[in-house]
Amino acid sequence: MNVLYLTSRSDFPCAVGGSATRIVSVAKGLMEEGATVHVLSAKPSLAPGADDAGLPAAGTQEGISFEFTCGRRAAARTRIGAAYLYLKGLWGAARAVRRIARSASVDAILLGGVEAPEFVVLAKLLARSVGAPLIGAQSEFPFVYRRNTFAMRVQQWLCEHLNFNYKLLDGMIVISNHLYDYFSTRLRRGAALLRVPILVDVSAFPQGIAKPSGGQRLVTFCGNLEHKGEVECLLQAFAAAAGDCPDWGLQVIGASNSPKRMEDLRALARELRLEGRVYFRGVVARNDIPSRLMEGDVMALPRASGVFSQAGFPTKLGEYLATGKPVVVTGTGDIPRYLEDGVSAYLVPPDDVGAFAERLRFVMTHPLEAEAVGRRGREVAVGEFDYRIHGRRIFDFIRKLNRH
């Protein structure tokens, strides 16, 4: 089976965001079943002006072929430059699909992101030209990051009122029950729908490695620092919980593209008198994420309320659980479908800093019980989220669509 993963913008292969992790997990799951996967990204993934010297626009990583079809990884500095690169990327994607199809038949095109009509129309034309089904791959609610521009309002109207983009799809893979319900009424008749939860490579998190004794214990957060309110909640909760636990620290893995955002978070840490106890690690390379997470003793994942949390399913949660460490997480969306409070994780209501602090304090002061919860959380990751389990499901889903 030969599968193309076409996306307008992908963090793969150089970043650690949820979208990149999702692409890798889906690709590796299909490869376990004998498939070949090519990732084609029409837009650059790095910030404008970033140094992409030595970073090839095409290659292979973790066994996955990738190509930035615009020819570079760093985004343009101007709007005109960005528009030019996007058009170049669309043209390059069309050429790449045709080139790959000449050497091997294409069995499916997975489409990461279904909001932009020009991108979906191009993908549909390409899928028809190579005789493959077009399958959307959606991990968050459409337009959740919508900018209030005329073009974006038109795109949203086409999707939500006419279902124009969605009806071009032959199938859809979604990450949550909320998205399953949303798309089930918007796809064309006969289109197939598959719910695949968060995915993780559990084997990347080996157990039984003891931490050095006498060192500082750590609450660990890893994720996108752009989500306002989440890291603030964590800092406030840690400050409230750790007053009686001076041997605990907080490490924050991840970064923001906004220097002001990072300075605001550091200022809040100082205001909460957490100097010397909060460590902003910045961006960590993908291969180093497992070891960084395993340094932690408690994994923390606050989620703000809203459609983003209800429709999404944080990929990082799978990695948290795979560590075997206790997880304190906001119980939004599909999370309570898989995790039970006090059994496999500690679930907290959204937007409740006090409740999050209380749970953190309990975990810090009840290590034996928390360790048992962490072990059961890992069992959930093994049984529900390992990418190998769902690779077979996605493989069969594609094969079934190919028969129609």
Full set of structural domains in the chain with CATH: 2-199+386-402 (3.40.50.2000), 202-385 (3.40.50.2000)
Computed over every residue of the chain, the mean pLDDT equals 90
Share of the chain above pLDDT 90, in %: 64
Confidence of residue 151 (pLDDT cuts 50, 70, 90): confident
pTM equals 0.91
Q: What is the pLDDT of residue 341?
A: 96
First to last CA, the chain: 16
Q: CB–CB of 175/314 below 8 Å? A: no
Q: Please give the residue that has the higher pLDDT: either 268 or 259.
A: 268
Beta bridge partners of 60: 65
Residue type (1 letter), 40: L
pLDDT of residue 211: 66
The pLDDT of residue 85 is: 93
| Confidence class for position 16, pLDDT limits 50, 70, 90 | low
Strand ranges (E), 248-397: 248-253, 278-282, 298-301, 327-330, 346-348
pLDDT, tens only, 95-122? 999 999 999 999 999 999 888 899 999 9
Q: Quick one: CA dihedral 26, 127, 153, 256, positive or negative? A: positive
Residue 149 has pLDDT above 90, yes or no: no
Percent of the chain clearing pLDDT 70 (strictly above): 96
Q: What is the mean pLDDT of residues 30-41?
A: 95
Top pLDDT among 21 and 341 is at 341
Question: Counting beta carbons within 10 angstroms of the beta carbon of residue 164, is it exposed (0 to 12), middle (13 to 18) or buried (19 or more)?
Answer: middle
Q: Is the confidence at residue 144, as pLDDT, over 80? A: no
What pLDDT score does 142 carry?
85
Tokens 């039984």, residue located: 208
For residue 231, give the 3-state DSSP assignment.
helix
Mean pLDDT of 254-281: 88
pLDDT at 176 over 70: yes
- Mean predicted confidence (pLDDT) in 75-92: 92
Compute the distance between CA of residue 114 and CA of residue 393 in angstroms, rounded to an integer: 22
DSSP of 320-340 = HHHTTS-EEEE--TTHHHH--
Q: Which of 151, 28, 16, 18 is nearest to 79 (CA)?
A: 151
Comparing 101-110, 117-126, 174-183, 300-309, the range with the smallest average pLDDT is 300-309
* 40 closest CA partner among 27, 55, 25, 53: 27
CA dist 44 and 8 (Å) reads: 9
Q: Could you report the per-residue pLDDT of 187-232, keeping only the tens digit for each? A: 999 999 999 999 999 999 988 766 665 678 999 999 888 777 889 9
Mean pLDDT of 146-151: 76
Mean pLDDT (whole number) for 267-274: 92
Cβ 260 vs Cβ 229: under 8 Å: no
pLDDT exceeds 60 at position 280: yes
Section 83-96 average pLDDT: 95
